[in-house]
Amino acid sequence: MIRVAFFDTKEYDRAAFAQYDDRSLLAFKFLETRLTEDTAALAKGSDVACVFVNDAVNRAVIDRLYANGVQVIALRCAGYNNVDVKYAFGKLRVVHVPAYSPHAVAEHAMAMLLTSVRRIHKAYNRTRDFNFSLNGLTGFDFYGKTVGVIGAGKIGRIFIDICRGFGMRILVYDKYPAGDNLEYTALEKLFACSDIISLHCPLTDETRHMIDAGAIAGMKKGVVIVNTSRGGLIDTEALLAGIKSRKIGAACLDVYEEEADIFFEDRSGHILNDDLLSRLISMPNVIVTSHQAFLTEEALNSIAEVTVNNIRSCFVNSGRCENELCDRCGRIGQ
Ligand code: NAI
């Protein structure tokens, strides 16, 4: 039997994974706590630590998991910037879910964008209060506008297709452009020409704060920025300054660089200690969702299925597991 310590469990995770908990092949220990240096000991007796986007799997955590007999870290998400994959090499195998529903994320990006530009969030609140005034609700047509997409991978490409449906011109920046007929351009030109910029590249040392004060200075006045990728892609202080100076017309944020201790929990009734996030949320042209883009039934079922297959594959195959990240750490075979 493979024993899995499941960190940062939410109700919706449990619902999707419970069907695989047959206690003969696979047994889950669902833990509500995040995986940290202090909680790593809870994985003692487990073969696998199953983690999510904000479980910080750093060196100390890896050492503790390893010392407690854990063999595999199973990320139930695509991004793995929160795991020190290189350090884990030779101790713990790391698997992830490369794609679960890229449609879920791309559709959420468009949902936020439409909500923001057509002021749906404001109209919803007004009409609930029987306020039928249209003042301040003027948006703009998407048709004919230019959208800059950074990262034309699985999610970016679906977002591009959705934008095409609106009759938008699409500029693309990708560090590894595929030989296709997308209109690839330099990042600076994308910044200068786009009415809307949507981020769909991974967070790496190179992409951290790719949207900073310098980048914002090179953008069109009134640009709308959409981030459903990772918070660290944006220097939040620079974003806030851009909003205050009216350079940025609106921001749609499903992710935030300091989200780890805030998102996914009900903090209503508490005083939020993060002044930057509070200020952003107070802005009339900022929409924040708390890392919700993936949250569809299809995506949750797919995450559960692929994670379970990844785990089984690690214990069945002596070679590399399915969806193992080790080949990307550059140390395979050493
Ligand atoms: P993907 O790997 O299919 O595509 C990423 C693209 O970014 C690739 O085309 C790659 O060439 C490009 N890229 C890599 N380095 C780059 C750089 N320095 N500059 C520009 N482009 C670069 O990944 P996928 O599935 O499309 O996911 C994209 C991101 O979305 C993930 O990294 C993850 O952070 C985020 N995500 C967010 C979710 C949410 O719920 N908000 C859920 C799932 C993913």
Q: Give tens-digit pLDDT for 142-155.
A: 999 999 999 999 99
Residue 148 structure tokens: 């800059």
Q: Fold match between 2-100+297-325 and 102-288?
A: yes
pLDDT (0 to 100) of residue 24: 77
Active-site residue identified among 64, 76, 93, 291: 291
The architecture CATH gives domain 2-100+297-325: 3-Layer(aba) Sandwich (3.40)
Identified catalytic residue from 259, 267, 297, 320: 259
List the chain domain ranges.
2-100+297-325, 102-288
Determine the pLDDT at residue 118: 98
Kindly name the residue from 157, 230, 257, 324 that is annotated as catalytic.
Answer: 230
- Which residue's C-alpha comes closest to atom 42 of ligand 1? 294
Q: Tell me, what's the pLDDT at 333?
A: 33
pTM over 0.75: yes
Distance from the CA of 229 to the center of ligand 1, in angstroms? 7
Q: How confident is the model over 100-125, as pLDDT tens digits?
A: 899 999 999 999 999 999 999 999 99
Residue 102 near ligand 1, beta carbon < 6 Å: yes
- Sign for the CA dihedral angle at 73, 154, 174, 224 comes to negative
Q: Cα(319) to centroid of ligand 1, in Å?
A: 27
Taking the C-alpha atoms of residue 10 and residue 264, their distance in angstroms, rounded to an integer, is 9
What is the atom index within ligand 1 of the atom nearest the CA of 173? 20
Max CA distance (Å), the chain: 67
pLDDT under 70 in the chain at which residues? 317-318, 327-334
**CATH class of the domain at 102-288:** alpha beta
